[in-house]
Amino acid sequence: MKLALVGCTGLVGREMIEVLEERNIKPTEFIPVASARSVGKEIHLHGQSYKVVSMEDAIALAPDFALFSAGGSTSKEFAPKFADVGTTVIDNSSAWRMDPNVKLVVPEVNGNLLTEDDKIIANPNCSTIQLVVALNPLHKKYGIKRLVISTYQSFTGTGAKAVKQYEAEAKGESLPETEMAYNYPIYENCLPHCDIFLDNDYTKEEMKLVHETRKIMSAPQIQITATAVRVPVHGGHSESVNIEFNNAFDVQDIKKLLNEEEGVILQDDIQNFKYPMPRYARKKDEVFVGRVRRDESIENGLNMWIVADNLRKGAATNAVQILQHLS
């Protein structure tokens, strides 16, 4: 396998390298790709050193696969150029997610849709990935009518600039406004503002949860509303999810379905205070689910708490799993 990694020096790019090593994926040729200022730098994979190359040089090498984590505009420009030379692009940006001709894939949910003809494949938004992994087995059995989602999302999801802001604030240091990722402090604060605000007063992140969930689960009929909040947490994203099913359910059966689902770890032992927390999801590839309980205010209602490392299953791991599914 000839593998390119576009955006190899970024937060997700570095995480992808870790996942490739942990899963013992050894390409016959590895091509790290980054912006012009990083060309010539060294990247390490499985103990070997590789020089970062330009986008144009990588395209000329016609890799079999390219993992993209370099932003939407970069993906829009260069993913089709890689596809034109026969490369299968697995893109982590939002550029292609809602394109009707591009598959939006979480392997545990809809990996069966992938074919060799798919030359650009979209990796979903981090908060959507962990959500659908947990919801899919429940929807298949009971049918989901409506979702109310509140997210508690790590600042790491915003990128290196946010990490720098958090670390500076934690030390009591101030940064110039141009170097801040957020309008307000993130240290010891919560910001009900993930991504930009849209015309309907929701943020782009909130609407990603709506549109991407429906697309991945092939369920345009599900009614979804979301509030996305950025929190001063390093380990991952958490979600409080209220579900209204079409059909009556048994809570113990819900737990059994979750416990048996690939990629899910059920942590639901309140007698011993065991429930998912982002601190303990960090560097893990699974989706953790707990606080599973009936919503007594509506018929066929359920509450649960979903946690995952946003840089792993929410980004790097899911992309690598797509790669494994195809290769």
Q: Which residues are the active-site residues? A: 126, 237
For residue 195, the number of C-alpha atoms closer than 13 Å in the C-beta half-sphere is 18
Helix, strand, coil % (nearest 5) of the chain?
Answer: 35, 25, 35
The answer to whether residues 211 and 135 touch, using CB atoms and an 8 Å cutoff, is no
> Which DSSP category does 185 fall into?
-
Residue type, 97: R
Q: Which residues pair with 20 in a beta bridge?
A: none
The residue among 105, 108, 94, 126 whose CA lies nearest residue 239 is 126
Neighbours of 288 (CB within 10 A): 26
**Residue linked to tokens 């309980």:** 293
Q: Which H or E run contains 178?
A: none
Neighbours of 263 (CB within 10 A): 21
Ramachandran angles phi, psi of 167, nearest 5°: -65, -35
Distance, CA of 270 to CA of 19 (rounded, Å): 32
For residue 81, give the 3-state DSSP assignment: helix
Q: Which residues pair with 303 in a beta bridge?
A: 242, 293
Virtual CA dihedral for 111, 112, 116, 119, nearest 10 degrees?
A: -40
The order of strands in the sheet holding 264-266 is: 223-231, 144-154, 237-245, 301-308, 287-295, 264-266
Ramachandran angles phi, psi of 80, nearest 5°: -65, -30
